[in-house]
Amino acid sequence: MATLADPIKESFRPSMLLNDTRYRSLTFQFIALVAIIATMAFIGGNLVRNLAEAGLNISYDFLGAQAGYDINQRPIPYESTDTHGRAAIVGLLNTLIVAILGCITATVIGVVAGVLRLSPNWLVRKIMAIYVEMFRNVPVLIWILIIFSIMISATPAPRDFRGEDPTASMMLFDSVAVTNRGVFMPKPLLGDGSMLVIGIFIASIIGIFFFRRYARKQLFDHGRLIPTLWPSVGLFFIPAILAQIVLGGPITLEYPELKGFNFQGGTTIRGSLIALWFALAIYTGAFIAENVRAGILAISKGQTEAAAALGLRPGRIMNLVVLPQALRVIIPPLISQYLNITKNSSLAIAVGYMDLTGTLGGITLLQTGRAIEAVLLLMLFYLTISLLISFFMNIYNNAMKLKER
């Protein structure tokens, strides 16, 4: 028997979907979802009907056809007799190479420039301000063309390395040649036991990470300062070098040699890749510098003064007190800058660098006439890359967030 203290259970009525606040938001969300699905179905059906009337159909069989064109920068073996699918993979790898190199270099440039923008030295501070304002207010395409033009005009041709031009000479013990066709450098050749050397090198890098983490924990928990620079350098080089010596040198180098009018052997980094890489890095680094400056300014000045009162040097104050806290402000906009580098890499076609847009969205699209299929694949690839960058950077961002008790 119900009493006055018992809550009255109201039975569900259809009118509650609009009148009851508990269900109203769900009702509107469901209506919006149905509308979106209906709109997409209408657009898709309209596309299929129009293609059928034109005698066309969605097919990706063209990926198995012979490509018939060359790619100047090939991270994996590729010939013109290979398929369009392999050409797209080569273009995708070229895009990833530019994106990874650009993100790393832009981060280094941005952090250095952002810190130096707050330097007490007036000259350094103004030079960094000029760099930031000059590069971020000029379109990145112009910087790509400028750097590419400088590389072509300011570097010698391969034939000049015959000794006729005294200014044309190889660097680093005659192993690297910088020319107007690109940079020619030694290529590693993997022999028996090379994978063990590579595994030891990777383990050394992981060991450096854990060692520095241990040193930081000792500093924060016990106030004991453990030097990290030279031990890290030793871990980076010594184990792999010892493994290389003990195993009899399984990893050798193939050096570039001038034969005819060009260098043969070794590996080549095209001038178009270098121009695109540095232009994207320097351009985006200017934006990252402002993000870094904003993150540092967000930290209370009292913390810097307190650290200085404890006797910490300015460099350690920046590394141990300011930057770890500033990262919470820096990382979210930094993710957007990484995404911009990845998407801006599609400008590679301006200097002849065959990335994903130049292969799948360029020559393959024009040869096969499969515009819809090629564009859909382009969208899928760029969307996947961008989502992966956001995913891993958000994991790092969550790790750096302030942990509440």
pLDDT digits (tens, 9 = 90+) for 237-266: 999 999 989 888 898 888 888 887 788 888
CB 135 within 8 A of CB 286: yes
73 DSSP assignment: S
In a domain, 64, yes or no: yes
Question: Mean per-residue pLDDT for 172-181?
Answer: 82
Q: Does residue 277 or residue 18 have the better pLDDT?
A: 277
Got the DSSP string for 270-318?
A: EHHHHHHHHHHHHHHHHHHHHHHHHHHHTS-HHHHHHHHHTT--HHHHI
In a domain, 80, yes or no: yes
In a domain, 377, yes or no: yes
Q: How far apart are CA 276 and CA 285, in angstroms?
A: 14
In a domain, 121, yes or no: yes
What pLDDT was estimated at residue 388?
A: 94
In a domain, 100, yes or no: yes
Residues 6+ apart with CB under 8 A from 241: none
10 DSSP assignment: P
In a domain, 182, yes or no: no
Q: Is the pLDDT of residue 316 over 70?
A: yes
Question: To 10 degrees, the CA torsion angle through 49, 52, 54, 55?
Answer: 180
Query: Is the CA virtual torsion 32, 33, 38, 39 positive or negative?
Result: positive
- Domain residue limits at 121: 49-157+270-405
Task: State the total domains in the chain.
Answer: 1
pTM, 2 dp:
0.83
In a domain, 164, yes or no: no
CATH of the domain at 94: 1.10.3720.10
In a domain, 402, yes or no: yes
